[in-house]
Amino acid sequence: MSRSTSIRARRIAGNGALAVVAAAALTAVLGGCRPAVRPPVNVVLVSIDTLRADRLGCYGGTTVETPAIDSLSNAGVRFQNAFTPVPLTLPAHWTILTGVEPWHHGVVDNGMTLPKPPAATLAERFADAGYDTAAFVSAFVLHRTFGLDRGFARYDDGPAADAVLDELMHASAPADERVDRALAWLRRERKRPFFVWLHLFDPHAPYVPPPGFRARYSGRPYDGEVAFVDTQVARLLAALERSGIADRTLVVLLSDHAESLGEHGEETHGLLLYDATLRVPLLFRLPGTLGAGEVRPEAVTLADVAPTILALTGLPATPGVDGRDLFGPAASPLRQLGAVSQAPVRRFGWASLTAVREAGWKFIAAPRSELYRIADDPAELVDRRASDPDRAVGLARAARGIEATLNARLAARGTVEPGSEALARLSALGYVSGPASTASAPPDPKDAIRSMGELDRAYQLFAEGRLDEAQASLNALLARSDFPPSTVLEGLGRLARLRGDAAEAEKLFLQMIAQDPEALGPLAQLVRLARERGDRGAEVERARRLVALAPADGGAARLLAEALLGAGDSAGAEEEYRRGLKVAPRSGWLRLGLARLLVATRRGDEADRELEKITSDEDLPGDVIAEARTLRSRPAR
């Protein structure tokens, strides 16, 4: 009780210093029904994908320099034991932005969409309260197709908009580019408070830090990515400071899930439910309201983030959510926190997992369940089921309750599975492999995970340019029976292409098509292979097949239009560009292609209109906008 009173007192004390801001406007927005006028607090939510708390200095890390995030912690409140309820990007962000746990919202894998969200998102709440809202996301998994753009006046998923069927590395944007865009938006004149969500993706696999960081963290590319992303957080914090609004801006920094880095046999994240991937950093800074350098030890969930942000900005709680205001009255010491993992069954036909933690203990329900006393065994190494069977039984019951709730939610078809185009893009990112056929009982993910780890390691070697090692690793996987080979074949095909062995690449991608005639990724690769060897007929034929399979896909339309252009069918190409833009109007590359064709056929005015559409859409990728500007400025048209 006393701590919540003291926070309230400090919050009110802060009002005087903030009287200069447009409090009147906010009173009008809030309808004047609140007892006290609170200062309009801006909100900056930074989610750093795949960030382990223990890499940060403020969480005791010693191997990576993270001065910016540490300074944020020193000036604010650090939650020492924060956990994600699901170790996957899209499901976790649904929880972060709504305060609803995954077993209630039902998004348990990347690529799923919700026809009707279970609660208003933070962006919707802030938009309703008169805030200016914007999001800058870095990866295709958070593309607007998947619904998190709700309530955002601006949703910049630019780097992903054209990622369709493109190469693995092109589907996400680096933190410096994203921070550039967010800063440009923050610099705008505005009379209203703002809510901005910045999602940075760099620590996500494969780890390829910028050259300076690669050298400084040689042999530790993940750490290099973390150090780099910290320098970009530094730019953001410095800009807030320079603009004089840091004192009335709530900054929240967290991760959607962490990264296992080999612990328990998992290389990345998304399948197992150990704290190697569930534990995340969680920091709140609001000068004058929150204590500086405060450390909170209790276990909290990412579902608590939205209710806490709303409370700190003086907005009423969203009804019906699972999370709680972390600066409100203390929670029960027996509060139970859950976590779910459905990706093992959905992607590989393995068993699903459910975890429950309570008062320093954690139970993981699995074909071979586990009980850990995480208070003194944080690495989850000693299974205590035999020594504490009663506790195991009690927590198992709680886990079954979560499973039943989730199964009911999924059975009610509250979520929609991704369409084939979205699946193809996610597959190109290594997210979806398609369920393997399961003979008898589904394997326990902690046993089956080893082959997945080998695949992750192969892709990391690939990204580092260590092609021989990547090849050996993929070949070893190909020889195993417990792994769906399509992902392996795709990796081998890409490797062959990279090495210039077109015949081998062709053979591997054709093999994938034989397995799954509707697979888009390998077909797109086959279009490119035909182009590279100058076989225009095959290129057009394959691209037509691709468009027939994915008629609404801008990337497919672009491949067909370019194929037709290469074959000398300029009219056909123009028709395809225009058809593609009807179904994918935000495809910058498609529009750029049409503009080039119009320039080439001496229709400068028409070309200018298309180029204008590109240069005025600030969410499009920077290189598309730059090319459009160059093309416009060229005099001889």
> Of 248-287, which residues contact Zn ion (CB under 5 A)?
256
Beta bridge partners of 364: 355, 370
Q: How far apart are CA 508 and CA 174, in angstroms?
A: 31
Between residues 66 and 277, which has the closer beta carbon with respect to Zn ion?
277
Helix 622-633, helix 588-600: angle, nearest 10: 20
Between residues 199 and 248, which has the closer beta carbon with respect to Zn ion?
199
Q: Between the CA of residue 61 and those of 151, 281, 336, 361, 381, what are the distances in Å?
A: 37, 12, 28, 24, 21
> Of 539-578, which residues contact Zn ion (CB under 5 A)?
none
Residue 281's φ and ψ, nearest 5 degrees, are -75, 150
Shortest approach of Zn ion to residue 532 CB, angstroms?
A: 34
Task: Mention every residue, 6+ apart, whose C-beta is less than 8 A from residue 16.
Answer: none
Q: How far apart are CA 613 and CA 325, in angstroms?
A: 44
Between residues 94 and 126, which has the closer beta carbon with respect to Zn ion?
94
Between residues 89 and 249, which has the closer beta carbon with respect to Zn ion?
89
**Binding track over 27-66 against Zn ion, x by CB under 5 A:** ----------------------x-----------------
Using CB under 5 A as the binding criterion, the count of chain residues that bind Zn ion stands at 3
Shortest approach of Zn ion to residue 431 CB, angstroms?
A: 10
Between residues 42 and 89, which has the closer beta carbon with respect to Zn ion?
89
> Of 614-633, which residues contact Zn ion (CB under 5 A)?
none
Shortest approach of Zn ion to residue 49 CB, angstroms?
A: 4
Shortest approach of Zn ion to residue 483 CB, angstroms?
A: 23
Q: Answer for the pair 181, 136: CB distance below 8 angstroms, yes or no.
A: yes
Q: Is 61 helix (H, G, I), strand (E, B) or coil?
A: coil
Shortest approach of Zn ion to residue 51 CB, angstroms?
A: 9
Q: Answer for the pair 352, 341: CB distance below 8 angstroms, yes or no.
A: yes
> Of 449-488, which residues contact Zn ion (CB under 5 A)?
none
Residue 362's φ and ψ, nearest 5 degrees, are -145, 135
Between residues 89 and 232, which has the closer beta carbon with respect to Zn ion?
89
Burial-class residue 143 by CB neighbours within 10 Å (0-12, 13-18, 19+).
buried
Q: How far apart are CA 286 and CA 249, in angstroms?
A: 6
Shortest approach of Zn ion to residue 74 CB, angstroms?
A: 26
Q: Is 283 helix (H, G, I), strand (E, B) or coil?
A: strand
Q: Answer for the pair 286, 358: CB distance below 8 angstroms, yes or no.
A: no
Burial-class residue 317 by CB neighbours within 10 Å (0-12, 13-18, 19+).
middle
Between residues 276 and 599, which has the closer beta carbon with respect to Zn ion?
276
Q: Identify which of 240, 262, 260 has the alpha carbon closest to the alpha carbon of residue 250.
A: 240
Residue 44's φ and ψ, nearest 5 degrees, are -115, 115
Shortest approach of Zn ion to residue 417 CB, angstroms?
A: 20
* Residue 159, both tokens: 């780097």
- The string over 372-401, giving b where at least 16 C-beta atoms fall within 10 Å of a residue's C-beta and e elsewhere, is bbbeeebebeebbbeeeeebbeebbebbee
**Binding track over 88-117 against Zn ion, x by CB under 5 A:** -x----------------------------
Between residues 265 and 270, which has the closer beta carbon with respect to Zn ion?
270
Q: Answer for the pair 309, 289: CB distance below 8 angstroms, yes or no.
A: no
Shortest approach of Zn ion to residue 519 CB, angstroms?
A: 25
Between residues 48 and 524, which has the closer beta carbon with respect to Zn ion?
48
Between residues 124 and 256, which has the closer beta carbon with respect to Zn ion?
256
Between residues 155 and 201, which has the closer beta carbon with respect to Zn ion?
201
Q: Where are the beta strands (DSSP E) in 58-163?
A: 77-83, 132-136, 154-156
Residue nearest to Zn ion (CB): 89
Shortest approach of Zn ion to residue 88 CB, angstroms?
A: 6
Shortest approach of Zn ion to residue 54 CB, angstroms?
A: 17
Using the contact rule CB under 5 A, the part of the chain among 87-95, 307-315, 366-374, 385-393 near Zn ion is 87-95
Between residues 256 and 576, which has the closer beta carbon with respect to Zn ion?
256
**Measured CA angle at 614 (ends 613, 619), to 5 deg:** 115
Residues binding Zn ion (CB under 5 A):
49, 89, 256
